Amino acid sequence: MLRRVVRADRVGIPISCLLAISLMLVCGCSSGPSEYEKYKNASKGFEKAIADAGGNAKKEGKAMFGFQMSGWTIDLSGAKLTDPLVEQIIQVAQENPVFDLNLSKTSVTDAQLEKLDSGKVLQKTVNLNLSDTAITDAGLDKLSNFYCITNLNLKGSKASKEAARRMGDKKIANPQTPAPFKKQPVVVI
């Protein structure tokens, strides 16, 4: 059986147009940035917002549960923590987890910590530093969306070791907590 091949130059489509269309399809060329470029720009914008507040944020790899994961290390120690910045942290955490969160010497409130928790920022946080803050037992008692906190620094805060223990008990009892994290966090008071 013979197949008839139709050549583009015989049906009136210039080869240059076909090449341009092919390149656009293959390269993803369009008007505006690609999804990857948008993602990178959002990450850079977040890093700048953290820097403008007096802190720093970097994305890095971390091995968890035998998998290599990409996530954020956010250090806001001594920085100005505002509600809009809390919202930005929540938005960024939807794409990549926050592994380390240092809020020491900030004005973080129980309400802001609860908002970070309900925004699922603390789900994969391993190291949480709340030293020298106004966080209280009531603030810790409201947390429920954390599964991996292994190190909890409360030195100089208004929270007690008993509240930290209750927090650890909640983590251990939660069925979503991975087996390697079903233990009390190391607490610094």
Residue 13 lies in a domain: no
pLDDT value for 37: 80
Angle of CA points 98, 100, 78, to nearest 5°:
110
Amino acid at 111: A
Residue 129 lies in a domain: yes
β-partners of residue 185 are none
pLDDT value for 20: 57
Contact 102, 77 (CB under 8 A): yes
pLDDT value for 5: 54
pLDDT value for 53: 96
Residue 80 lies in a domain: yes
Residue 73 lies in a domain: yes
| Domain containing residue 64 | 34-188
Residue 107 lies in a domain: yes
Residue 135 lies in a domain: yes
- Which is nearest to 106 in space by CA: 129, 81, 140? 81
What are the 10-residue block averages of pLDDT along the chain, 189 residues in total?
54 58 56 75 90 96 82 96 97 96 98 98 97 98 96 98 98 95 96
Residue ranges of alpha helices (H) inside the chain are 15-27, 35-52, 83-95, 110-118, 137-141, 161-173
User: Looking up tokens 């070791």, which residue turns up?
Assistant: 161
Q: How far apart are CA 31 and CA 29, in angstroms?
A: 7
pLDDT value for 124: 94
Residue 7 lies in a domain: no
pLDDT value for 74: 98
Structural domain count of the chain: 1
Residue 69 lies in a domain: yes
pLDDT value for 73: 98
Q: How far apart are CA 184 and CA 141, in angstroms?
A: 15
Residue 158's CATH number = 3.80.10.10
